[in-house]
């Protein structure tokens, strides 16, 4: 079983739609959680950290469910510019700053 | 502007050849990392360095080597022992400090390595 699992998609949605991605992680000792965005053939960029209480940044909302070991990302009012691959990232406890990356969920927003 | 630079953007390797990928950062970050990304897979850690003159193997270090002689620089050498080197190579760094700030990693633009 992969340490971090995501639905690869693609999710094809029209502009203005609301779309949600889920991600599951296997290690219950995981400490920190992030969503990164990666455009085609570019480097990943931090979209937002995910806090236990849930957090929102404009049209983006992240939620964490530790009991079920999943993280979600909700995008409201989708824009064409939201088209990208969204990477779920988990930091496990212990030692150095090791991040485990999911393979990503691809989003395609169309006019 | 502070940031992470990687060069070259594209690199071609011949059979049996060692090649070196450059990674430089002027963010004053202590920790630096090398990842490999293959299509349909998550990033996999090759090597990391938490301070100058120290580095540790990641999950897929075989066929790779690194050095960390300066805080700003963390070059990666892909040796001839790496039998499947074609991939997108990403360098990252993270600041010192506590909590979320320390955990956030920032990436360079990447180098695409292709085997001739």
- Please provide the distance, in angstroms rounded to a whole number, between the alpha carbons at the two ends of chain A: 37
What is the nearest CA distance from B13 to chain A, expressed in angstroms?
A: 20
- Contact criterion met (CB < 8 Å) for A96 and B31: yes
Q: What are the residues whose beta carbons fall under 8 Å from the beta carbon of B85, sequence distance 6 or more?
A: B13, B63, B78, B113, B115
Instruction: Find the residue in A nearest to B10 (Cα).
Output: A41
**pLDDT 10s digits, B58-89:** 999 999 999 999 999 999 999 998 989 999 99
What is the number of CB-based contacts under 8 A between chain A and chain B?
A: 52
- From residue B93, alpha-carbon distances to B30, B87, B99 in Å are 7, 20, 15
- Report the pLDDT averaged over residues B47-57: 93
Dump pLDDT digits (tens) for A11-58.
Answer: 999 999 999 999 999 988 878 899 999 999 999 999 999 988 889 999
CB contact under 8 A, B45 and A87: no
Reported as a pLDDT band with limits 50, 70 and 90, residue A95 is low
B103–A8 C-beta distance less than 8 A: no
| pLDDT at residue B95 in the model | 84
C-beta atoms of A42 and B110 within 8 A: yes
d(CA B40, CA A105): 10
Instruction: Determine whether the interchain pair B105/A99 forms a contact, defined as Cβ–Cβ distance below 8 Å.
Output: yes
CB contact under 8 A, B43 and A91: no
Contact A25, A71 (CB under 8 A): yes
Confidence band of A2 (pLDDT split at 50, 70, 90): confident
Nearest CB to B107 within list A34, A44, A104 = A44
Q: Are A82 and A93 in contact (CB under 8 A)?
A: no
Predicted confidence (pLDDT) per residue in A57-91, tens digit: 999 999 999 999 999 999 999 999 999 999 999 98
d(CA B27, CA B93): 8
**Of B55 and A93, more confident:** B55
B50–chain A nearest CA distance, Å: 8
Q: Which token pair is A47?
A: 């979209």
């Amino acid at each position: 079983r992969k340490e971090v699992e995501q639905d690869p998609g693609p999710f094809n949605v029209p502009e203005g739609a609301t779309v949600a991605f889920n991600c599951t992680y296997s290690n219950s000792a995981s400490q920190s959680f992030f969503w990164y965005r990666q455009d085609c053939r570019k480097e990943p960029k931090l979209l937002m950290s995910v806090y236990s209480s849930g957090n929102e940044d404009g049209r983006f909302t992240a939620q964490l469910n530790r009991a079920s070991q999943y993280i979600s990302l909700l995008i409201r009012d989708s824009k064409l510019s939201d088209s990208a691959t969204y990477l779920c990232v988990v930091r496990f406890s212990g030692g150095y700053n090791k991040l485990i990356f999911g393979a990503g969920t691809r989003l395609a927003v169309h006019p | 502007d502070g940031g992470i630079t990687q060069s070259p953007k594209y690199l071609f390797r011949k059979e049996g050849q060692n090649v070196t990928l450059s990674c430089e950062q002027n963010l004053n970050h202590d920790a630096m990392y090398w990842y490999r990304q293959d299509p349909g897979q998550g990033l996999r850690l090759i090597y990391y360095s938490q301070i100058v003159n120290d580095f540790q193997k990641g999950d897929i270090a075989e066929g790779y080597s690194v050095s960390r002689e300066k805080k700003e620089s963390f070059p990666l050498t892909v040796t001839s022992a790496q039998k499947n080197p074609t991939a997108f190579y990403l360098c990252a760094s993270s600041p010192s400090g506590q909590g979320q700030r320390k955990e956030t990693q920032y990436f360079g633009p990447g180098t695409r390595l292709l085997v001739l």
